């Protein structure tokens, strides 16, 4: 059907975005049969690290005392300070309200105990079903760390994730702290040597291949600091060059790099204490030039890196640009970055991933992001209609399917997942 009016265009775009099922290509969620690794519920929402950092700007409670509280007591404290004593206007606070609203909760009571009782009716499976339905998500990509003892045990037991949940092999301990973790490789039967050599290359590569077989990951991934350099004389650089890139190429599994995080700026805040800084894109450009038969997925944490990343994306087809990661997951920045990417890269990106650490966050992360994506798409379609170009509904539905689902699967060469 041809679109003739701005009102008709707005309705078509909004409906296409709302109805399109989403592949959430990067989260910290887990399959419901991964036991306590799946964080869910109102107390987990309220004690998310964004809110822990925010409450400390209002609270006189020493952080070491806060950590001694039970999870529920921490949630009570955050609720009182950020929602009752002050209006919850930050994106993290608004996200909690959007999520509770999605569950059909009447927020006028502000009764946190009543909200807990509503959540208590769900077990892990029923809550996953509910949240995925409300968020419009049909595929979730996890973050899976074989160096985490609890998660490692689950995989070694033969547990397979729910079919809606897909693995991503996370390699931060291997790459960012190899010296502290090579003894673990030894203990697990991988005969790495103290001096770098061919045997160590073979054994680390065998470790990667074993976990690829075990997890069947869609990609390998690492978060990297702002001063990441490649190539250089370091364990990290050697492992990437001699192990990860050959295995990635041989297994046809992309290597995802999330670059720009500065860890433990305030260690007392624990996971809430990380920050960011600008990074050089030259290491990425070097990889793209030098390894044209490897596929790379990349997002940067600093706002200042986004323009250069878009330009680099125009030069290399083996680079997949995705998401507004971590501290970029703020509406003002999502809007700016997404508009820039559409203007420089067209519709060849995945504009967003949730990065959710709590199951319920999928509701607000995608509701808020879809509103912004719809607004920018509407603006861009109006621009081309003013030239005399004609659009029809199926073309817009195709574009939205690419953005929220197909582009990711197409980059992975998973044709069976691409929607027609």
At residue 42 the predicted structure's pLDDT band, cuts being 50, 70 and 90, is very high
> Do 392 and 385 touch, CB atoms closer than 8 A?
no
pTM above 0.75, yes or no: yes
pLDDT over 70 for what percent of the chain? 100
Return the SS3 of 21.
coil
At residue 21 the predicted structure's pLDDT band, cuts being 50, 70 and 90, is very high
Region 228-242 average pLDDT = 98
Give the single-character DSSP code of 271: G
Burial grade of 198 (CB within 10 A; 0-12, 13-18, 19 or more): exposed
Integer angstrom CA distances of residue 208 from 142, 217, 242: 17, 11, 12
pLDDT in tens, 384-395: 999 999 999 999
256: enclosing H helix or E strand: strand 255-259
Residue 235 has pLDDT above 90, yes or no: yes
Residue 30 has pLDDT above 90, yes or no: yes
Spans of all domains in the chain: 6-38+134-417, 41-121
pLDDT of residue 80: 98
pLDDT in tens, 93-130: 999 999 999 999 999 999 999 999 999 999 999 999 99
Angle at 68 between CA 64 and CA 74, to 5 degrees: 100
Round to whole Å and give the CA distance between 311 and 296: 15
At residue 3 the predicted structure's pLDDT band, cuts being 50, 70 and 90, is confident
Domain 6-38+134-417 CATH assignment equals 3.20.20.140: yes
Give the single-character DSSP code of 144: B
- Mean pLDDT of the chain, nearest integer: 97
- Look up the CATH superfamily of 41-121: uronate isomerase, domain 2, chain A (1.10.2020.10)
At residue 220 the predicted structure's pLDDT band, cuts being 50, 70 and 90, is very high
**Cis (ω within 30 of 0) for the bond into 231?**
yes
At residue 362 the predicted structure's pLDDT band, cuts being 50, 70 and 90, is very high
> Do 77 and 66 touch, CB atoms closer than 8 A?
yes
CA 151 to chain centroid: 18
Residue 4 has pLDDT above 90, yes or no: no
User: Listing from the earlier edge strand, what are the strands of the sheet with 169-170?
Assistant: 169-170, 220-224, 255-259, 296-300, 319-321
Other residues' Cβ atoms within 10 Å of the Cβ of residue 223 = 23
Round to whole Å and give the CA distance between 375 and 379: 6
Please provide the DSSP assignment of 281-339 as one string. SHHHHHHHHH-TTS-EEEEESSGGGHHHHHHHHHH-TTEEEB---GGG-SHHHHHHHHH
Which stretches does DSSP call E strand in 134-232?
A: 137-141, 165-166, 169-170, 220-224
For β-strands 169-170 and 220-224, DSSP reports them as parallel
């Amino acid at each position: 059907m041809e679109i003739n009016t701005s009102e008709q265009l707005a309705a078509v775009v909004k409906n296409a975005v709302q109805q399109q099922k989403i592949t959430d290509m990067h989260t910290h969620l887990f399959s419901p049969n991964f036991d306590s690794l799946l964080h869910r519920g109102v107390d987990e929402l309220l004690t998310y690290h964004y809110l822990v950092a925010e409450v400390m700007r209002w609270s006189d409670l020493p952080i070491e005392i806060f950590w001694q509280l039970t999870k529920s007591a921490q949630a009570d404290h955050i609720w009182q300070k950020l929602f009752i004593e002050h209006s919850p206007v930050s994106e993290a606070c608004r996200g909690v309200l959007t999520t509770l609203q999605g569950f059909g909760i009447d927020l006028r009571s502000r009764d946190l105990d009543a909200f807990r009782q509503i959540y208590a009716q769900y077990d892990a499976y029923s809550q996953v079903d509910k949240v995925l339905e409300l968020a419009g998500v049909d595929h979730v990509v996890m973050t899976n760390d074989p160096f985490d003892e609890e998660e490692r045990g689950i995989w070694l037991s033969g547990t397979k994730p729910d079919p809606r949940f897909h693995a991503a092999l996370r390699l931060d301990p291997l790459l960012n702290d190899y010296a502290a973790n090579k003894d673990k490789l030894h203990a697990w039967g991988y005969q790495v040597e103290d001096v770098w050599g061919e045997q160590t290359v073979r054994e680390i590569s065998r470790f990667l291949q074993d976990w690829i077989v075990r997890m069947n990951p869609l990609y390998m991934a690492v978060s990297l600091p702002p001063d990441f350099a490649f190539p250089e004389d370091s364990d990290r650089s050697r492992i990437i060059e001699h192990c990860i890139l050959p295995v990635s190429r041989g297994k046809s599994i992309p290597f995802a790099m999330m670059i720009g995080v500065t860890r433990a700026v305030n260690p007392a805040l624990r996971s809430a204490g990380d920050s960011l800084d600008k990074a050089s894109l030259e290491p990425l450009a070097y990889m793209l030039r030098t390894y044209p038969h490897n596929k790379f997925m990349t997002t940067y944490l600093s706002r200042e890196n986004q323009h250069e990343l878009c330009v680099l994306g125009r030069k290399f087809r083996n680079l997949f640009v995705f998401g507004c990661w971590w501290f970029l997951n703020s509406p003002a920045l999502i809007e700016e970055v997404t508009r820039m990417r559409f203007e420089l890269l067209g519709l060849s990106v995945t504009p967003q991933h949730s990065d959710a650490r709590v199951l319920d966050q999928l509701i607000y992360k995608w509701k808020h992001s879809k509103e912004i994506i719809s607004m920018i798409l509407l603006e861009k379609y109006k621009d081309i209609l003013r030239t005399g170009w004609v659009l029809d509904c199926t073309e817009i539905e195709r574009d939205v399917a690419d953005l929220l689902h197909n582009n990711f699967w197409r980059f992975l060469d998973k044709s069976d997942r691409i929607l027609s």
